[in-house]
Structure 1
Amino acid sequence: MYLDFQIITPMKIKFLFLTFILFSQLSFGQLTAKTNAVISLIGNQINSDLQKDNLHGSISVAILKNDRVIWAGAFGHSQMEKDVPADTNNIYRIGSITKVFTATLLMQMVEEGKIKLDDPVENYLPEIKNLKDYDKYSKITFRQLASHTAGLKREPELRGADVGPLDQWEQKVLACISKTSYNSKPGEQFLYSNIGFAMLGLAISRAAGVPYMQMVQQRILDPLHMTDTYFALTDDKLSRLAQGMSNGNGGVNIDLPARELKGRGYRVPNGGIYSTPRDLAKFAMSLTGKLALLSAKSWKQMQEVPPGGEKYGLGLMLYKSADLDVIGHNGSVPGYTSEMGIDQPSGYAVILMRNYNIGSTNLTSIAHLALKALKQAD
């Protein structure tokens, strides 16, 4: 993937704008010629990458500035074997971007005084004591689970942990605990742990006395009017789902993503949400301080790397360079990949969703390149 955002001449602007208006399924406000040119470069690159990948897949994009979506577009096809053009109403799995939702719930509970970040999780989830070698180490805290510094391995050693009905995810988490091992002492080092985040979601739910999915609905989706974000899809929503294609090792598996429509086992608080880029944009706005769900103090805490941590706060990936100060997250589940990157100084955010796993487009790289170019175009 190569993007030349360095030289945007008037002639290039004119050419790119003519190309820009040919893209299907777009919505945008009054943008400058330079901003249109940057967006055209992004679209051209995505279209080129989709052609190279040759999977008949799609990538859907939303670009925000402060409190509004300034552009949204979809490229490619939403079905593997049908000529159905992708559009901005297609639904995708967002994977681990779900972790930002879970961390937001945690901070809301902290603000309400129901949880302290350094409380032992066992106070609310006593079953965590069933972890292998739990008694050998200090007690795991909420801060450690939310920052992947609890020392837990990425996945439990339980066959079928990642399959099972949505309404039985809590039982699956509890079954996974005794099959989960430590990789290091709590607070010693960073190790990304999906099962750790699932335990976090269940512990938050226990502390609130409200089911996790209900908390997400009432505390995040409803206040932000996110009407196109779900944990389960009804039949009428399934018609808008971009078909997931789990590709790799020279083949494409459509059965695994289809099977996971019925549930992902324990993987709900760490990767269970469906959405569209434009609907997820409302959540991204809350991370820029617009439509805020949390206090400024809480957002600051979410961006602090704890002892043993590494470029990760509380449910937030952190990226800083000379040009960018990005918070957000990416996601990957069978058949889907996603990216949400927010440059805080400029207020720009880029959201991308794809209905396959391995491809020419590096979603994180293109998001960062786009954010840098959009800042330069201002």
Structure 2
Amino acid sequence: MRAADRLQVFVDTIVSGDGPEQGCIAAVSGADGATVRACSGIARADDAFPLTVDTPFHVASVGKMLTATLVHQLVDDGLVGPRGLDATLPELAELGLVDPVLAAGVHPQADSITLRHLLSHTSGMKDMQVDDADGTAEQHGGPAPGSIQASYGASVVRASRGTGDGAFARRRWTAWDPSAPDDPEAGHLNLFLASGTAAAPAGAPGERFHYSDTAFALLGTIVEAARGTSYADAQRTRILDPLGMSHTYLAYGDDPAPDARAREMDVWLAGVGLLSGGFDLSFDWGGGGQVSTVDDLLRLVRGVLAGTCVSAASRDAMLTPSPCPGLPLPRIGMGLGVHHHRVGERHVIGHAGAWGVRAFVEPASGLAVAATVGCLDPCAWLGDLFDLAEAIVREESP
């Protein structure tokens, strides 16, 4: 069997198993950019359209590479002050880039938190997505009861059983509403403060690794304040257009082609197709609120590796692993915006997304992969996908 045909078998196998995967799209490419793609399964619970290799999907935390790039560009342009990545929240507040309420309230030691801490998940801030005031997801063995994910999942399940209206899972989120800092329903960061989660941190700034979508929501607000435009506009003009990522947009915050949103691949949770069911995924925003395609994610991860959109110094800062005590496997290092993973014998960089999304490149070989399965998934298949990429490139080489 040709290696390219084995990619089709790979995606067929993923969706034919006993897991929650209903659809899979995968793409692999060699250093020359030649790409092979395959897909299998269904796109939507409502069967509105067939799944193709070009179907757009929600990328979840893979989008953090976009937020990180935008922040490094602020450093390159001198917009965060002379200390650059080491600028603290109070210093950024003095520049008008962080609301003083946030600069003082996101952590008991917020005055010590820097951009470097936020980008490397070492700020000590909890993650409102999965943590709450009483503990972390790790301590609870899953999303903490007061977290966004716990409330969201329960809302979806109740709605699917006819015992609730799903209001929490249908709400449209904002990152921060400064007019209502104490209103937990006003925005992601508002909930973080009002729920007491901010006041009960995961650790001191710089102490250890603790993954935080909330930190990246804060970074997104800094980008908007510094650029004087929306996150979506900054992303499009400064990254998407330069990299040719014409099929990527910020969900709920951008203006894609007229039919783009209507053709997004479903995200599956508890057996429910969230988009088909009318549920909302706007809670991720700067932490990964983008919709993209496998081809565009390959462009992104290669652009990050090349440093196409940032200075040489920022490329180095983005890619070079920084000390992160407590970093869990398969991560073996954290750059300021990308993850270093050990996959078998390979050292790859890129990012993972909670909805079974992966976008990684192997610097040593130039191999790159991008894939989604559209549901919560540990993606143990990433190593197999890189092995397939290597076999395909070898077979296709003259």
Q: Residue 346 and residue 130 in structure 1: after superposition, are their counterparts in 2 closer, same or farther (change >3 A)?
A: same
Unaligned runs of 5+ in 2: 133-145, 153-168, 178-186, 328-332
Match of 2:309 among 293, 297, 307: 293
Partner of 1:237: 260
Within a 5 Å distance, the mapping from 1:306-345 to structure 2 comes to 306-309=322-325, 310=327, 311-320=333-342, 323-332=345-354, 336-345=355-364
1:170 aligns with 2:185: no
Q: How high is the TM-score relative to the length of structure 2?
A: 0.74
Could you say what the CA RMSD is over the residues aligned between the two structures, in angstroms? 2.9
Counterpart Cα distance in 1 of 2:50 and 2:21:
10
Q: Is the 8 A contact 1:56 1:81 kept in 2?
A: no
Q: Is the 8 A contact 2:104 2:111 kept in 1?
A: no
Counterpart Cα distance in 1 of 2:19 and 2:25:
16
Task: Give the 4+ runs in structure 1 shifted more than 6 A.
Answer: 375-378
Q: Residue 274 and residue 132 in structure 1: after superposition, are their counterparts in 2 closer, same or farther (change >3 A)?
A: closer
Counterpart Cα distance in 1 of 2:384 and 2:73:
32
Within a 5 Å distance, the mapping from 1:136-151 to structure 2 comes to 136=109, 139-151=112-124
Q: Is the 8 A contact 1:78 1:243 kept in 2?
A: yes
Q: Give 1:234 deviation, angstroms.
A: 6.6
Aligned residues: 330
1:278 aligns with 2:246: no
SS at match of 1:96: helix
SS at match of 1:151: coil
Residue identity opposite 1:72 in structure 2: R
Match of 1:302 among 318, 321, 329: 318
Q: Is the 8 A contact 1:228 1:276 kept in 2?
A: yes
Q: Residue 356 and residue 137 in structure 1: after superposition, are their counterparts in 2 closer, same or farther (change >3 A)?
A: closer
Unaligned runs of 5+ in 1: 1-15, 18-36
Counterpart Cα distance in 2 of 1:371 and 1:324:
12
Which string of whole-angstrom CA distances, capped at 9 and with x for unpartnered residues, describes residues 203-237 of structure 1? 23222323222110110111122211112367612
Partner of 2:141: none
Counterpart Cα distance in 1 of 2:209 and 2:269:
28
Q: Is the 8 A contact 2:305 2:319 kept in 1?
A: no
Q: Give 1:192 deviation, angstroms.
A: 0.4
Counterpart Cα distance in 2 of 1:173 and 1:130:
16
Residue identity opposite 2:36 in structure 1: W
Which string of whole-angstrom CA distances, capped at 9 and with x for unpartnered residues, describes residues 247-292 of structure 1? 3xxxx1224774444x523x200020001101222212212328x1
Partner of 2:203: 184
Counterpart Cα distance in 2 of 1:349 and 1:82:
31
SS at match of 1:61: strand
Partner of 1:200: 219
Partner of 2:184: none
Q: Is the 8 A contact 2:59 2:291 kept in 1?
A: yes
1:87 aligns with 2:52: yes
Residue identity opposite 1:41 in structure 2: R
Greater mean alpha carbon deviation, residues 106-115 or residues 233-242: 233-242
Q: Residue 205 and residue 56 in structure 1: after superposition, are their counterparts in 2 closer, same or farther (change >3 A)?
A: closer
Counterpart Cα distance in 1 of 2:53 and 2:343:
31
Greater mean alpha carbon deviation, residues 91-100 or residues 150-159: 150-159
Q: Give 1:93 deviation, angstroms.
A: 0.4
Counterpart Cα distance in 1 of 2:239 and 2:68:
11
Counterpart Cα distance in 2 of 1:349 and 1:318:
14
Partner of 1:20: none
Q: Residue 85 and residue 345 in structure 1: after superposition, are their counterparts in 2 closer, same or farther (change >3 A)?
A: same
Percent identity (aligned): 24
Counterpart Cα distance in 1 of 2:78 and 2:11:
45
Q: Is the 8 A contact 1:226 1:279 kept in 2?
A: yes
Q: Give 1:83 deviation, angstroms.
A: 9.2
1:98 aligns with 2:38: no
Partner of 1:216: 235
Q: How high is the TM-score relative to the length of structure 1?
A: 0.77
Q: Residue 323 and residue 296 in structure 1: after superposition, are their counterparts in 2 closer, same or farther (change >3 A)?
A: farther
